[in-house]
Structure 1
Amino acid sequence: MTDPTDPTEHTGPTERYTVISADCHAGADLLDYKPYLPRRFHDDFDAWAADYVNPYEDLLADTADRNWNSGRRLAEMEADGIVAEVVFPNTIPPFFPSASLMAPVPTREELDRRWAGLRAHNRWLADFCARTPGRRAGVAQILLNDVEEAVREVRRTREAGLTGGVLLPGVPPGSGIPELYSEVYDPLWAVCAELDVPVNHHGGSASPPLGDEPAARAVFMVETTWFSHRALWHLIFGGAFRRHPSLRLVLTEQGSGWIPGVLEMLDYYHERLVSAAGRSAVTAESKFGAGLAEAMGQRPSAVWRGNCYVGASFMRPHEVPLRERIGRDKIMWGSDYPHDEGTQPYSREGLRIAFAGLPRQEIAAMVGGNAARVYGFDLGLLDPIAARVGPTVAEIAEPLTRVPDGATSPAFAPGGSVRVW
């Protein structure tokens, strides 16, 4: 019998799905960050804001206010069939030259200013989420340059009501920051495990700078998800999950079809190196594997099953048949609102092209139940809203035969609707 209190068995209202987007983005309008900064930074902020030129076209467009206009955002998402969201950052926090948390930091004074900017964003986000109680799980931002400060910010933002966890910055090669497998980050993993704070690693934040030539931009598109995937094997081989068994890692907007193959590869290397290390003969591989089993504990696929999840933004049809190997309890669909590559205002069609023909209980878990479990959403609060605005079971069961005019999401990319069962 289905347990209505268990998000993995939750089917939502009788005729509709409770859809929670596990990947959305928001941030304050630039000048609106000032009240969230300590007064001693106000003059610095005025000087920075006066000279700042925003490099992102979507933050200069007429639609930019979808990042901070709570009423507009709520209306558009409800019209799209979505009742709640996990909120990643989008706009530029104070004192940053770009959105990248790994932008070079030349001095301690500059680092202090950037920490102030991130804390301002986190304070703004807590207020933004509080405007719609129970419907937004805000993801806090930190820097890895100062682990003690990161730990303090995780505690502070959890107490402030941000339930989306923490955004783990990427560590691109050449950044000068210790690699994610380093035990220097153990205090961060410890506090996230202690407070049940999900560690989110979002696509696009871990790539090294490549330049602005046409080839460089194409290479970035090909490589960016791979660089984001690296967090998975860094934390696994580094033993973070062995030392902190309740630590949870969410990989968001990096696709999901890669996961089964990568887990097989990681298991292969783990078994190969551990086996070599256990032999009496000293070989090159035995040196590579020395201490690995003790450091990381379980094999990678077991760590995935116990500790990891995927924010499967605008999940594409070719990924859906892999859901058993990924884990049906691991997949969390996302609309990527308000980005151009997001499914809004065609999220219902995006759900249809991916999930039509699947059992209702599986769909309910992937579009909402799993996210409710990972991020602590109250389905008792959300189900009545979904009964009013959510997509109907019959609607999502109908295969999509025509891509909507104007749809720009990769969910609708050519060839994406081909599926073999």
Structure 2
Amino acid sequence: MNEGQHRNGGHAMKDVHTANDVHTGDEGHPGTAGRYTVISADCHAGADLLDYRPYLEKRHHDAFDDWAATYVNPYEDLLADTADRNWNSARRLAELEADGIVAEVLFPNTIPPFFPAASLMAPIPTREEYERRWAGLRAHNRWLADFCAQAPGRRAGIAQILLNDVQDAVDEVRWARENGLHGGILLPGVPPGSGVPELYSRAYDPLWAVCAELGMPVNHHGGSASPPLGEEPAARAVFMVETTWFSHRALWHLVFGGAFNRHPDLQLVLTEQGSGWIPGVLEMLDYYHGRLVSAASRAATAESKFGAGLAASMGRGPSEVWQANCYVGASFMRPHEVPLRGRIGLEKIMWGSDYPHDEGTRPYSREALRAAFSGVPAGEVAAMVGGNAARLYGFDLAALAAVAARVGPTVAEVAQPLAEPPPDATSPAFAPGGRVRVW
């Protein structure tokens, strides 16, 4: 179908859930059959390359045909026989259910039209190129609305935007909400040299305003904000060292930029960036906040200019902002991160399987939950593996209860410690050892 023929794929979801509002039976344990309602807060999907064409306006069809005829996909997983996990709805539902997962938050995965590589990391040199890529992202969003409609209530799709034209982004957020993409938006990275304003800029206030107004979370995924480094061995190693740090930058840019003070209902989610770093980084941000605000009151100090206006702009300190406005998509949460849940905020943590990526937990999500959460009270586990995501992304837990009663992992199962990881597991959830990272 073309853009004018696109059908509304939206399906209403209940939005009101408390922090620990999980499907519970009379005995107070998750599920009437003692099972958890698992919602993966980090999954990925996208159309097969040529299937984007019907979602483009007709004026782009010839250009798309030319582009698609010469495009070489750089990603092995999108060339493999299993690539259809990204768009085959029936296969996807079956594999997730077999893994104990009843619903998912959908980040993009495949390449949208007119992009040379991953959409969030590709520089845009000209306005003409922007127009082409914007058309490609809008095609993805329209495909995603239809894909979510194939499994009503079980998919929260995340719309893609660009930051080059804020009004275009605002209009797309409104379209996304009206058409059932309740997962919010994917915030592109702004690496050095991107050519767009930094994320702390007030230029983005119209975007933050519409997201706050419509209850659309702003999601920032790991790996989306690094500058291009090349393909040399050293470059790849440096990428691994720096990639999460560049993704974390969105947190302090929006915090110090006062975005949450001006838009108190704005919600930021940091996904697949780990979670062990959060307490240490919040301590660091609180330190600088206190130091700079204090210095601003003493005009004679050398640091006074660095803190000028900061207190008024931010309103609250970084840790307070985190507790009020921020969440972590704790993909394949590792055992050494779980003891930090009190410092991170139990109601802020959302487990994710990262399906269908190789580093994801499938087909061993039950084992990954055991490795992370055995010994943790069932109510807390229920919040982290489903309740928090339901509250933020608007899933109706009562509507998911029947599926959870059929496929969800049991409380007793998750409580059983995992002695040995599956020998063929590829997820970092099963990596030996592990220490809490604070950078």
- Shorter-normalised TM range: over 0.9
What are the equivalent positions in structure 2 for 1:10-409 lying under 5 Å apart?
10=22, 11=24, 12-14=30-32, 15-279=34-298, 281-409=299-427
Residue 9 of structure 1, CA deviation: 3.8
What is the distance in 1 between the residues matched to 2:388 and 2:259?
A: 23
> Which residue identity does 1:239 align to in structure 2?
G
Equivalent position of 2:428 in the other structure = 410
What is the distance in 1 between the residues matched to 2:213 and 2:228?
A: 35
Change in Cα spacing, 1:282 to 1:258, as seen in structure 2 (3 Å) is same
> Which residue identity does 2:140 align to in structure 1?
H
8 Å Cα contact 1:331/1:370 also seen in 2: yes
* Partner SS, residue 180 of structure 2: coil
Change in Cα spacing, 1:277 to 1:103, as seen in structure 2 (3 Å) is same
* Partner SS, residue 85 of structure 1: strand
8 Å Cα contact 2:269/2:327 also seen in 1: yes
Residue 219 of structure 1, CA deviation: 1.1
> Which residue identity does 2:160 align to in structure 1?
Q
Cα distance per residue 1:183-229 (max 9 Å; x no partner): 00000000000101100000001001111111111111111001000
8 Å Cα contact 1:314/1:410 also seen in 2: yes
Match of 1:8 among 3, 20, 26: 20
> Which residue identity does 1:317 align to in structure 2?
P
Residue 84 of structure 1, CA deviation: 0.1
* Partner SS, residue 318 of structure 1: coil
Q: TM-score, normalised by structure 1?
A: 0.97
* Partner SS, residue 219 of structure 2: strand
8 Å Cα contact 1:172/1:207 also seen in 2: yes
8 Å Cα contact 1:36/1:120 also seen in 2: yes
What is the distance in 2 between the residues matched to 1:34 and 1:333?
A: 34
Cα distance per residue 1:381-401 (max 9 Å; x no partner): 111110000001110000000
How high is the sequence identity, in percent, across the aligned residues? 81
Unaligned runs of 5+ residues in structure 1 are: none
> Which residue identity does 1:157 align to in structure 2?
A
What is the distance in 1 between the residues matched to 2:224 and 2:100?
A: 29
8 Å Cα contact 1:13/1:384 also seen in 2: no
8 Å Cα contact 1:165/1:200 also seen in 2: yes
What is the distance in 1 between the residues matched to 2:21 and 2:284?
A: 31
Change in Cα spacing, 1:417 to 1:242, as seen in structure 2 (3 Å) is closer
Unaligned runs of 5+ residues in structure 2 are: 1-15, 25-29
Change in Cα spacing, 1:203 to 1:50, as seen in structure 2 (3 Å) is same
What is the distance in 1 between the residues matched to 2:125 and 2:414?
A: 51
Residue 176 of structure 1, CA deviation: 1.2
Residue 102 of structure 1, CA deviation: 4.0
8 Å Cα contact 2:184/2:216 also seen in 1: yes
Change in Cα spacing, 1:5 to 1:371, as seen in structure 2 (3 Å) is closer
Change in Cα spacing, 1:417 to 1:220, as seen in structure 2 (3 Å) is closer
What is the distance in 2 between the residues matched to 1:51 and 1:363?
A: 48
8 Å Cα contact 2:367/2:418 also seen in 1: yes
Equivalent position of 2:13 in the other structure = none
8 Å Cα contact 2:187/2:218 also seen in 1: yes
> Which residue identity does 1:139 align to in structure 2?
I
Q: Which runs of 4+ in 1 moved over 6 A?
A: none
Alignment size in residue pairs: 414
Cα distance per residue 1:133-173 (max 9 Å; x no partner): 00000000000000010000000111011000000000001
> Which residue identity does 1:399 align to in structure 2?
P
8 Å Cα contact 1:260/1:326 also seen in 2: yes
8 Å Cα contact 1:21/1:84 also seen in 2: yes
> Which residue identity does 1:129 align to in structure 2?
C
What is the distance in 2 between the residues matched to 1:395 and 1:322?
A: 23
What is the distance in 2 between the residues matched to 1:248 and 1:7?
A: 15
- CA RMSD, 1 decimal: 1.3
Residue 175 of structure 1, CA deviation: 1.1
8 Å Cα contact 1:102/1:175 also seen in 2: no
